[in-house]
Structures are given as structure tokens and as C-alpha cells.
Structure 1
Amino acid sequence: MIKTAAGILVGGKSSRMGRNKASLTWNGNTFLHTLIDVCRDFPEIYVSVDDRSKYQDLSCTVVEDEEREYGPLEGIYQILKQMDAPYAVMLATDMPMISPEFLQALVSRLTGEEDCLVLRKEGRPQPLCSVYAKRVLPTVEKMRRNREHKPGLLFQRVNTRYVDLEELGFGEAVIANVNTPEEYEQLCFRYGRRLQEFAPFVRKKLSHGKVLVCYLDGVGYRMYKSAVDKGSVPFMSRSFSVIPVRTVEPPVTNPAMATMITGELPVVHGVYSRKDRELRVPTLFSKRSREDTAFLEGDTRILKTELPPRLHVAAKGKGCDHWIYQAACRAAKEGKSFIFAHFHEIDDAAHAFGPYSSACMEKLEEADRYIEGLSKIFSGEILLISDHGMHETRDGGNHGESVLPCAVKDKHERSSCLYAMEDMLAIWGERI
């Protein structure tokens, strides 16, 4: 196989996204670090950026744009100048689904005769997922002098060969990219983490040390983003990597919590509605005791688990979340190896006043202070998780109800309901 470098282009403005796309999270990592890992088998890896000072922690070679307004061809130019290999596969940073297998399939099509090997999807060239020869540098330099910045012009002027995505045997998902917050949510909804992955993740963490789970009832991804924008969750936004996680249908507490603590979908664990409480499979609390575990709930036992939770009611002018926090602090000081604290009041405020209301943001601020306080005394892994999101209604907020009418013949069948995106995207956070 012809020696080929890998180039990752990060220098774009991300104006439609509203934030740097390289810093978006994907399955617990940033888009940029995901791509760097995917390219690990290439002999040279370059990252093209607009400002080198923002990427000093990268282990690969960083090249900086000279022409800040020239577009992606500037990044391609800088990488071609720096690399030793005769070819480089150039990748946009907003394609986290790319796999090593796909890249190997693409570069294996090189013959050494072409100047550019351009990928096409449904007949459309994909210049930011294509291969460029170092020998096109003079042509690119001339284009820069003439202020011509479209890669398509380069393809017309050099020996270009096209390869269709279908020829490589991959579906279009492998090069799915995002330009807007809505596209990011759709990508996470279709291909990202699922709530059923949480229990196996916690079990693995518990095998290595202590774990504190802060279960934030009803905190959808859009609600969390709103809280970040409003400055309501300074500690969480600074100290945790928070990603969207797809919940279950219907997106209500009982089935979602059951999935969260079992790692199974409703068809397996048997909880389908707010009324169901009996679980068919073991949970995270199986074979655990009060000596090593603190399972902290509000004033109601949601599910019948092997280890019953300790319930907490509002008292002395304080809500149940306050007392759950106090109990979690005691458990941390006692050295419990597993603390599972289910905070309820954000969900209550969102139902009553709406998921983006000032009352809901105040409850998120309160939860943020609780998590910060716990982080000072708990020495193990701290995880954030929620069960579902919530959409606005005329009189507050709701979830688990279809936006469009639907009929469910049997609760054991998968509903054909179309839920609001707010309902289906919860959050999963890991401490940085």
C-alpha cells in the first residue's frame, strides 16, 4: 500500500453550530480526539488549525493557517507542505463516524498515478474526505495567489480519479457530518450512546473503584444546553464532559430508570410504563448491601430493586433533594463504594413551569451546587445521568407523550409514537 498521511481539518468557523465543532463530544470523547484515534495507524497525523495556541495538548503534529479566511483548502495546503508521505487523506473534523476500516478501504484504492482520489456520495464529491498527492502543491499555491478557494477547481486542473462510497461497501452513515445543533442531536439520536449502555459502564467502573451516580431526573440535553448558556450549571459545564444519550420509548421515568440500572430494554426488563415496578432481570444493586452501597431516593420507591432505596421526604422547609444530598455526603464520608443519588426536583419544576423556565434553571443551579459539594468529598468516579427530556407545553412541560397521535395495540409492542426530540435525548456526563 502506498504510504499515506492523515490530515484533520479543524480551522473552520463553525458559525452555524455556534461553537467549535472539534470540541463536540462523541461517546465520551471530542470529535477531534475521536478522529485522531481513528487515524492512529497512519504513519503521519497532522491537524490543521486556525490558532495553534488552542491545541497545545495534541500528541500529533499541528499546522497553523497562514490565510485565515481562505477556507479548507488552506488547511490542505499547510498539511501538504509539512508531510513527508506522497499522499494524505484529508478529513473534516465533524465526521465522528469514520472508522479505520473505511479509511483503509479508501486509501487502498490509490494507484500512485492520480493526483487526487476523490470520494463521491450519491454522485457528489466529498473534498473533505478524499486523498491528495503532495505534488499538487504548485497548483494549490497558484490558486491561493488567485484567491481561488474551491477544491472542485483543483480537481479540474489535476489528474483526479473518483471513487463512489457504494464501491467501498460502506453506507453513508460512515461519513455523516454535522453543521448545526439540530444535526448534532440527530446524529446522536441515530448513532450515539444509548441509555442501556450505562449499567455495563457503571459495573466496569465499580470493578476498579468507587462510583457516585448523580441521577438528574428529567434533565434533557436541550434543557442542559439552555442551562449552560444561561450560566446555571457552572460546575457541571466546567468539570464534566456531557453528551446526549438516547433514552427508551416511552421516555418516562420507570422504564428509563429500569434500563439505566439493568442495561436492558423494556422488552427484557419488563417495565413499560409509570405504573410498572417489577423487574425481570438483575440491577446494579444485585448482591450489594447497605454496608457498601447508598441507594438514595425521594419520597417514593420507583422500582422494586434487590436493595431497597432509602427514601427522603421534604421537611423543615427543605425539599427531598436537599436531604438526598445530605445523605450522599454522609455516605461519601463513610467510604461507601457505590452511591446512587436520584434527584427529583428538576423534573417537578419542569413539569410545573416548563423545562426552560427560571424555576427549572434554579433547580439546576441547586443540583450543580450539590454535585460540586459532593465532588469535594468523594474520591471516586462521579457520573451524571438522566432518564428523559421534556418538551414545553402551554401549561408547563411534558414527556413520554407523542407529538402526533398514535395507537399502541399492546404494551409489549414497540410504539409507533413520534416523540419530541427533547423527550428522547437525556444526558450522560463523566467528570473530566
Structure 2
Amino acid sequence: MIKPVSCVLLAGGQSKRMGKDKAFLTLNGKTFLQIITEKLSKKCNEIILSVNKDEEIYREHLKEFNFKIVKDLNPYEGPLNGISSVYSYISNDFVFIATCDTPLINENLVNFYLEKIGNYDAIVPVIDGKIQPLNTLYTKNAVLKAKDLYGKVKSLKGWIESLSVLFLNQNELEKIDKGLWSYKSINTPDQYEELLRKFHQKI
């Protein structure tokens, strides 16, 4: 039986390299925020947005969805801060932590990871030798560790080193996500233009 999963969607970054909020970039007439929320709502029965802007901005874009909004405790202090801030709002034992700059995310990864996590605290993909700490599955206890560690470590890497982790290589991931599009972040104007060209769109 597939267990219920919460989704934490990190949407509180500064988007310095992009020059505008990545959550509200559009693809096929929808914002990245809408696309990712729609996909993950199919697999997660709880959506929690970690944000720093006015809540109404997000509500305006996600009218058709049920979700919680949590303001980061320490605005613009990185993803570990956002993850630490949402702990008390999580209802389920498993948490898929996603980022708002990957509109091509494959929502089937949620169940794929859920079947593999076993007694581990987290599943962490490894692509081209680099760990991918976002768009993957954690336990709620792992998020508690992030909350307890915050201030002592501020990087996702430092947090992951404190956990019991199942690392998955890209060959395993490609069984579900051919092309590994779930881990191709859109961080710069050039990357956004390339994405639009892929879909034959204009800025």
C-alpha cells in the first residue's frame, strides 16, 4: 500500500541569477509554480509552500489547489532554512521536498522513491557524480534533524551527512525519468530561453 506523502515546495529563493522570481516564469501558459504544484498534487495529499513574499501572490496563482503557506523563519537564508521552517506543518511521515525551478519534474518519482526508502531517512539521487538533495524523498524525522541542525550547519550537504541515506545512481533514475529532466534546474535567462526553444515558445 502506498503511504501518504507531504510535498514541501521551496519557493522562497531570491532568484539572483535569473533576475526575476523563477516560480512565476511561464511555460505552456502556466507558471512554474502552477505546473509543479499540479504534478505533485497527483502524488502528494498535502502541499506546503515555503515562501518569503506576500501570501496572496501565491494564492492568486494556485486558486484551484489546497495548500499551506509557511513563511521562512529567516528569509533568504537558503533551502535548509525553508525546510527547517515547515517541520511543524507536515502531517505525513514522508516528505517530498521539491524546488520551484524544475517545471519538467516527473511526479512518478514520488512513488518510485516511496517504494525504495525502507528504513532510510532519505533517498538522494547522484547525477554525474553530484548529489541532488532536492526533488527527492525524506522522512519527517529527517526534516526534524534539519530543524535541530539549523544554525550549526546551513548547507543541504551538511544536513544530508547527518542522515541515513540511500544514494541512487542515474541509471536507476532513468528507469522512471528518461533524460533526468526532474534535475535540470532553470536558474538563468539562458537556461530559460533554452527551455522555451525546446517547447517552441518565445519569451
TM-score normalized with structure 2 length: 0.87
Determine the C-alpha separation between the residues in 1 that align with 2:183 and 2:52: 23
User: Greater relative contact order: 1 or 2 (C-alpha under 8 angstroms, separation 6 or more)?
Assistant: 2
Residue in 1 that maps onto 2:135: 129
Determine the C-alpha separation between the residues in 2 that align with 1:36 and 1:114: 26
Among residues 147, 150, 154, which one is paired with 1:144 in the alignment? 150
Residue in 2 that maps onto 1:48: 50
CA shift digits 1:4-37 (9 cap, x unpaired): 2111110000011000000000111000000000
CA shift digits 1:43-102 (9 cap, x unpaired): 111111012433233331111101113210122122332111011111110000012223
Q: Give 1:181 shift.
A: 0.3
Which structure would you say has the larger Rg? 1
Among residues 170, 180, 187, which one is paired with 1:172 in the alignment? 180
> Which contiguous aligned blocks of 4+ residues in structure 1 show a shift greater than 4 angstroms?
none
> How has the CA–CA distance of structure 1 residues 47 and 139 changed in structure 2, closer, same or farther, with 3 Å as cutoff?
same
In structure 1, runs of 5+ residues without a counterpart are 195-244, 246-425, 428-432
**Superposition pairs for residues 99-114 of structure 1, below 5 Å?**
99-111=106-118, 113-114=119-120
- The answer to whether the Cα contact below 8 Å between 1:119 and 1:129 also exists between their aligned partners in 2 is no
SS at match of 2:48: strand
- The answer to whether the Cα contact below 8 Å between 1:2 and 1:110 also exists between their aligned partners in 2 is no
Matched, 1:91 2:98: yes
TM-score normalized with structure 1 length: 0.43
Residue in 2 that maps onto 1:78: 85
**Superposition pairs for residues 8-47 of structure 1, below 5 Å?**
8-41=9-42, 42-47=44-49
> How has the CA–CA distance of structure 1 residues 138 and 172 changed in structure 2, closer, same or farther, with 3 Å as cutoff?
closer
- The answer to whether the Cα contact below 8 Å between 2:70 and 2:85 also exists between their aligned partners in 1 is yes
> How has the CA–CA distance of structure 1 residues 51 and 92 changed in structure 2, closer, same or farther, with 3 Å as cutoff?
same
Q: Give 1:138 shift.
A: 4.2
- The answer to whether the Cα contact below 8 Å between 2:125 and 2:168 also exists between their aligned partners in 1 is yes
* Amino acid in the other structure paired with 1:152: K
- The answer to whether the Cα contact below 8 Å between 2:6 and 2:46 also exists between their aligned partners in 1 is yes
CA RMSD of aligned residues (A): 1.8
Aligned length: 193
Q: Give 1:157 shift.
A: 1.1
* Amino acid in the other structure paired with 2:29: G
Determine the C-alpha separation between the residues in 2 that align with 1:162 and 1:83: 24
SS at match of 2:86: helix
Determine the C-alpha separation between the residues in 1 that align with 2:12 and 2:135: 15
> How has the CA–CA distance of structure 1 residues 44 and 138 changed in structure 2, closer, same or farther, with 3 Å as cutoff?
closer
SS at match of 1:119: strand
SS at match of 2:123: strand
Determine the C-alpha separation between the residues in 1 that align with 2:151 and 2:91: 24
Residue in 1 that maps onto 2:166: 161
SS at match of 2:41: coil
Residue in 2 that maps onto 1:188: 196
CA shift digits 1:266-300 (9 cap, x unpaired): xxxxxxxxxxxxxxxxxxxxxxxxxxxxxxxxxxx
SS at match of 2:116: coil
- The answer to whether the Cα contact below 8 Å between 1:52 and 1:63 also exists between their aligned partners in 2 is no
